[in-house]
Amino acid sequence: MKLVDLLKPAANLKVVITGGAAGIGAVIAKAFHEIEAQVYICDIDAGAIERMKLDHPGMHGAVADVGIKQHVDRLMEEAISTLGGLDVLVNNAGIAGPTGNIEDLEAEEWENTVSTNLNSQYYVLRKAIPFLKQSKQNPHIIAMSSVAGRLGYPFRTPYASTKWAIIGLMKSLAGELGPDNIRVNAILPGVVAGERMNRVIDARAQTLGIEFEAMRDQYLEKISLRRMVTMEDIAAMALFLSSQAAANISGQAISVDGNVEYL
């Protein structure tokens, strides 16, 4: 086999992507669909799921709030039945959570962020792993963390706490599942261009009492390459990690961020 062929993910991969109808998740779903994988997505937005399925014939999906165990149980049962197995899990669903001083945050905001960003990963994993153990197609788990999973993030403590926890979960599972030939890695997106990042910048600007453009400039000054990354950058890493070229990459927290130096 030529080395270049190792970069191609296996044919007919069975892939489940949470939060797969919008943002980074949708771009990852489209990327796997382009390589003719069987893709099953979930999201809380029924309309977004229907648009994804309409625009990408053959893609499957269902509405689910991954922070609710019963929703995930139903989702995974439907996904595995539809796909006939599982080769790649992209645990992507997450929310930005609140912005503010920790003493001003509501307990419900904290709990919702933890439920959606962290508990959801466990709910999906417990149902997915038995089927990944049966896969012969280079089985792999991608846990979506963040650059805030390796750096402190003032005024975004609920979000950062969950993203650090995801790294610990990934590192532990890489050791636990390695003997079963299941690889586990985390992708840590940096400042990703798009509407979600604009909302994050705006919320922090309001917290600090400065203009949006000044806040945006501050974010860019913290990046060595002085530019945001794209959702396509994240999707490309997901495809690479699911290829044979990454067959011996496991337990890694891989930043795709232009080298964010601090937050």
pLDDT digits (tens, 9 = 90+) for 157-211: 999 999 999 999 999 999 999 999 999 999 999 999 998 899 989 988 998 999 9
| Tens-place pLDDT, residues 24-42 | 999 999 999 999 999 999 9
Amino acid at site 241:
L
3 state SS of 88: strand
* pLDDT number for residue 241: 97
| pLDDT score at 200 | 86
Catalytic annotation present for 153: no
The alpha helices in the chain, defined as continuous H runs, are: 23-34, 46-55, 69-83, 107-114, 120-132, 157-177, 195-208, 212-221, 231-241
43-183-115-41 Cα dihedral, nearest 10 degrees: 10
Q: What is the pLDDT of residue 4?
A: 82
Whether the CB-CB separation of 72 and 124 falls below 8 Å is answered with: yes
Query: Reduced to 3 states, what is the DSSP secondary structure of residue 253?
Result: strand
229 strand-pairing partners: 192
User: Which residues touch 14 (CB under 8 Å, ≥6 apart)?
Assistant: 37, 38, 40, 83, 84, 85, 86, 87, 88, 135, 137
- In the set 40, 153, 159, 262, the catalytic residue is 159
d(CA 12, CA 85): 11
Q: Provide the token pair at 252.
A: 């890694």
Closest CA to 113 of 66, 153, 171: 66
Position 148 scores a pLDDT of 97
Match 């006939």 to its residue by tokens.
84
- What is the DSSP track for 185-228? EEEEE-SB-SHHHHHHHHHHHHHHT--HHHHHHHHHHTBTTSS-
10-190+230-255 has which fold?
Rossmann fold (3.40.50)
Q: What is the pLDDT of residue 123?
A: 98
- With CA atoms as reference, report the closest residue to 11 among 42, 41, 34: 34
- Across the beta sheet with 38-43, the strand order is 60-63, 38-43, 14-17, 88-91, 140-144, 183-189, 253-256
From the number of C-beta atoms within 10 Å of its C-beta (0-12, 13-18, 19+), residue 153 rates as: buried
Q: What are the residue boundaries of the structural domains of the chain, listed by start? A: 10-190+230-255, 191-228
Where the chain has pLDDT below 70, the residues are 1
